[in-house]
Amino acid sequence: MLDRSRREGWQRAGHVARMCLATAIGFAATPAAAQENWVALESEARAMLPAASGGAVTGGSLSCEAQRWTLRLDLGDAAERAGGAAVIAVDGRAFDLVLSVEGRTLVSPLPREMLEPLKKGIRMVATLPGEAGEITFPLRGSNAAISGAENRCTLRDMSAYTAITFTPYSSHANLARELRAKDIEAFAASTASQPEVTVAMTELGAGRRLLFTRLCGSSWYYGLSGCNITGFATEPRPEGDASPDWTAVYDTENVHLHLDPKSLHDGWPDVVTLPVRGGGAALVWRWDGEGYALEGELPEESEQDDMLSLRPSQD
């Protein structure tokens, strides 16, 4: 009886194993082009596109590095490989791209303004040069896939700027607590806890100074970043007046903070920020006479070179 039970158990186990093997072979035999949804790779800042209909494209990807996005479209072996102008429409909204050829792949930088339409859209139609023709990609799963790639994307190179480093051990920590006393009190009343206070002081010369204060605590209170940064400025005081007059001039959620020493307005440098979490553009904050106001996105390096002649020197 025991031997028979064992034989039946082995037979059932063998049957299950054969079914699993057949299933695995079936999956292995399924081409990547049969993928129906956008998929984010777990170890890379890359979203794989689903199967396309029409044209000669067999697959594609959307990747991010140093906050720059690149679209890659893979061509079949027999397809003509021709670069040039292309138009990609997301639910009818058209974007102009210029594709280059890399082996069997068409490659183009992707403008950041395309990301949100791609996340929220229904389909993407690409009109490609040469025999590649017109292709259509569904956008199922694009929101999650692109967001996943954003979260893994490396930061932009900011070596040309001066990074602001916060510390809790600065000699200006007490000053920061005085200037943020009401904010600290409000946080404590709402959360029954104390925020972490860090500070960074920047001497700009000619009596100008910037004091950046950062309060961190509950993400419920401060938003997704979990922190708030408020900057204070002081200018030269009349002779004999030793007490600086600090004025709040900057306020955001938590960011990677930099100064642009090459761009001064009334003696104050531009503030350049990168998001701490997820993707997002580098932003420029410019002195408007009373404080820092959002000027716009920081151009890419190639665009900055074109703008150097327009950049004001020391005002």
In 3D, which of 148, 48, 57 has the Cα closest to residue 99?
Answer: 57
Provide the strand spans (E) within 34-170. Answer: 39-40, 46-48, 57-65, 68-75, 84-90, 93-102, 105-110, 123-127, 134-138, 162-163
User: Which segments of the chain does DSSP mark as H helices, in order?
Assistant: 2-29, 115-120, 142-152, 173-179, 181-191, 219-222, 301-307
> Which domains are present in the chain?
33-152 (2.60.40), 162-310 (no CATH)
Which residues in the chain come in under a pLDDT of 50? 1-2, 6-7, 10, 13, 15-33, 303-315
Stated pTM of the model: 0.69
pLDDT tens digits, one per residue of 199-238? 999 999 888 999 999 999 988 899 888 999 999 999 876 6
Contact partners, residue 35, CB within 8 Å, separation at least 6 = 48, 50, 51
> Residue 33: in which H helix or E strand, if any?
none
Determine how many CB atoms are found less than 10 A away from the CB of residue 217.
Answer: 20
In which residue are the tokens 């510390």 written? Answer: 167
pLDDT tens digits, one per residue of 274-309? 988 766 788 999 999 999 999 999 887 654 444 433
